[in-house]
Amino acid sequence: MRVGVVGASGYAGAELLRLMSSHPELDVVLATGESSSGRRIGDMVPALAAVYPDMVFAPTSSVLVEQLDVVFLALPHGESQRYVPALLQSGVQVVDLGADYRLKDPQSYLHWYGQAHSSPELLGKSVYGLVERHRRELPGAQLIAAPGCYPTAASLALGPLLDHALVEPSRIVVNALSGVSGAGRATSDRLHFSRLASNAEAYGISFHRHTPEIEQEVSAQLLFTPHLVPVARGMLVSAYARSLDPNLNTEVALEVLRTTYASDPFVVVVEEPPTMKDPVGSNLCFVSVRVDQRTGWVIAMSSLDNLIKGAAGQAIQAWNVASGRDEVLGLPLSGVTP
């Protein structure tokens, strides 16, 4: 398959290039990076020098003229809308790692992103690329909206509990910690080493753009608060929900998770609370749960690598399923330790 990676000079785009270099059926023939156009991939991302020794970043507009089978878009919000309609019209399959086609209600984009959607007619045609919850919808999909990292971690932890009506679908609190690579490659004052080191910071309080995505996916109302912590990669979610069953205990809740993910190779159900580092370097998501019968609260927990299962790996996993290939093809099932 002839593949184009748009936004390949960013963190998620570079991770796509890395993973695709070992995928036997994805042949990267175009990698774009607007500000890096003309530079060799290996000069911009030295870690990729051996697998892309001569390829250079092309202008983003090249994606509309190159002969491609599938395009992976790793662009800031709002940018994918400039290319997706034309790509689909020309018969190219699209996997969008951005937020442009995740939400089904066009008004949500106006409310949460501050701008109207330019191709709202495509929102109903996109398939949400969280394989573990949308596996049956993905085969044959031409437009895949790869989920965000926070919604992935939160949905995989909370989803089964809400699906089985074990917890209330309101008054849910989701707290999340993320490594700084989730903020992208562009620098800002809050990402300076002197501010970030030995620090932690909540942001997007009560109005983070991933809130409607999580709510849409798990059909619940929640308060979401992300936190930036001084690590390069990783994500850890702790979600709190009220139990609907006074007899619910931890073992029963864990068994619901085990049963739900029994056939999912990338979700690992653990008894002990997962740590941020456990999945780093892999496409795995670790999930667990605790029930506090004294207070009636259920704590759902998860961890993942925000650049792999939270972005590039997830996109490739969804494409594998959509195209009828082995789900694990080209994706790491083990993390890096220590």
Distance CA 334, CA 280 (A): 9
State residue 70's pLDDT score.
98
Segments making up each domain of the chain, as ranges: 2-125, 149-306
The C-alpha atoms of residue 97 and residue 183 are separated, in whole angstroms, by: 14
The per-residue pLDDT for 151 is 98
User: For residue 311, which amino acid is it?
Assistant: A
Contacts of 209 (CB under 8 A, 6+ apart): 77, 99, 112, 113
* Residue range 305-318: mean pLDDT, rounded: 98
Confidence band (pLDDT; 50, 70, 90) for 271? very high
- Among all residues, which ones are annotated catalytic? 149
CA distance 181 to 209: 17
- Can you give the pLDDT at residue 336? 94
Residue 59 predicted with pLDDT over 90:
yes
Q: How far apart are the first and last CA of the chain?
A: 35
In this predicted structure, the answer to whether residue 188 has a pLDDT above a threshold of 90 is no
CB 166 within 8 A of CB 251: no
Q: Which CATH homologous superfamily contains domain 2-125?
A: NAD(P)-binding Rossmann-like Domain (3.40.50.720)
Per-residue pLDDT, 112: 96
Q: What is the mean pLDDT of the chain?
A: 96
pTM for the predicted model, two decimal places: 0.96
What pLDDT does 192 receive? Answer: 85
Token pair belonging to 301: 């927990």
Compute the average pLDDT of residues 171-193: 88
Q: Identify the helix (H) or strand (E) that includes residue 30.
A: strand 27-32
Q: Identify any residues that bridge with 288 across adjacent strands, giving them in sequence order.
A: 301
pLDDT at 186: 77
Do the beta carbons of residue 92 and residue 71 sit within 8 Å? Answer: yes
Residue 338 confidence class, pLDDT cut points 50, 70, 90? confident
Could you give the CA distance from residue 328 to residue 283 in angstroms, rounded to a whole number?
9
Residue (of 176, 7, 142) closest to 78 by Cα position? 7
Q: pLDDT band for 187, please (50, 70, 90 cuts).
A: confident
Residue 114 CB neighbour total at 10 angstroms: 10
**Could you give the 3-state DSSP secondary structure of residue 329?**
coil
Could you confirm whether domain 149-306 is CATH 3.90.1660.10?
no
Residues paired with 170 in a beta bridge: none
For residues 33, 35, 201, 80, the Cα torsion angle rounded to the nearest 10 degrees is -50
Per-residue confidence at 230, pLDDT binned at 50, 70, 90? very high
pLDDT band at 109 (very low <50, low <70, confident <90, very high): very high
Residue 31 has pLDDT above 90, yes or no: yes
Q: And the tokens for 172?
A: 């849910």
